[in-house]
Structure 1
Amino acid sequence: MYIFAFLLIYKFIKGTFEYEKVSRLELIIIPLYSAIMMLLSLKKTQSMTALGITSILLMVGVAIGFLQASKTQVKDTKKIDAHQRPIIEVKRNWPYLVGWLVSFAIGISVEVFYGAHINAEEVSNELVSEILRDLSVVAFFRGSNAWFVWVLNVATSFTYGTCLMIRYPKIREAIRRRR
């Protein structure tokens, strides 16, 4: 298990510093899906405490999203895909990784706030599962998250994607719908 965890962490960190093709999945579908899941899970959790925490998490998540987008490097490959869209690549860099770690730590903190007793093994298992969700679309859509994880994911992913699309109009072209 430790070797698998180490390899996943290595792949995730290494991928943060490599150029990857920008996709509609990452910038539109995941934030939209997360918003739907957030609303559905918040519907079940209707306490004033949860609403207060949600408000705080949304604000913190927006700040994290700005941080994650702050040093993202964008490269136009000067190629086009089969749908005549430019192929754009992004390299997320350190701020993205730091933001991801802060989001993870906040998620663990909220679990503890709600009474979870978490030991080092549970934290490492949660870390592996979060990295799997980030690396694999199948794991992301099959995984189940608590409402506060969805709230953070909505705020960070939506803000990150919006910042990139505003700052780099070519990204909007790269993810536009096929005509």
Structure 2
Amino acid sequence: MIIFIILLIYKFIKGTFEYEKVTQFELVIIPVYSIIMVLLNLNDMPSITAIGIAIILLLIGTAIEFLQASKTQIKDTGKFDSYNRPILEVKRNLPYLVGWIGSFLIAISIEIFYGSHFNAEEISRELLAEILKGLSVIAFLGGHGTWSVWILNFATSFSYGCCLMIRYPKIKEAIRQKIK
């Protein structure tokens, strides 16, 4: 199990420093899915404390994304997909990885605040689940999470997409919906 986790961590870290195609999934579907999951989990957020934490998480998530997007590089391949959209590639770099680690630690901290108890094995399992979500569409859409995790995920993914679209307007063209 540990070797599997190490291999996944290596793949995740390596992918952070390589160019990958800009996709609608990352910039549109993840934020939309995350906000839907927040709305579906609102029953679990009845107290004023929870609402305060939600607002703080939105602000922290937004700040993390400004950090994560700060050194992101976009490359225009000069090619177009079958919908005549430009194919752009993104390389996230070190600030993205630092922000991801920060988000993970904040999510664990919120879980502990609400009474969860973690040992090394449980943290390893959570880390594995988060890395799998970062590497696989199926793991992301099938993943579980509390309202706090989904709010943080929404804040980070939405802000990241907005930052990139403001800095690189051509991204809007690369992810626009086109019907053949």
TM-score, structure 2 as length reference: 0.97
Rounded to whole Å, the distance in 2 between the matches of 1:43 and 1:124 is: 28
Matched, 1:173 2:170: no
Alignment of 1:10-29 (within 5 A): 10-29=10-29
Deviation sequence 1:72-124 (CA, Å, 0-9, x none): 00000000001000000000000100000000000110111111111111111
Rounded to whole Å, the distance in 2 between the matches of 1:3 and 1:112 is: 27
Paired residue secondary structure (1:79): strand
Paired residue secondary structure (2:89): strand
Paired residue secondary structure (1:177): coil
Rounded to whole Å, the distance in 2 between the matches of 1:77 and 1:113 is: 46
TM-score, structure 1 as length reference: 0.98
Rounded to whole Å, the distance in 2 between the matches of 1:130 and 1:31 is: 16
Partner AA of 2:169 in structure 1: P
Structure 2 counterpart of 1:58: 58
Structure 1 counterpart of 2:154: 154
Size of the aligned set, in residue pairs, is 179
Alignment of 1:40-79 (within 5 A): 40-79=40-79
1:43 Cα offset (Å): 3.2
Structure 1 counterpart of 2:4: 4
Gaps of 5+ in 2: none
Matched, 1:100 2:83: no
Gaps of 5+ in 1: none
Identity of paired residues, percent? 66
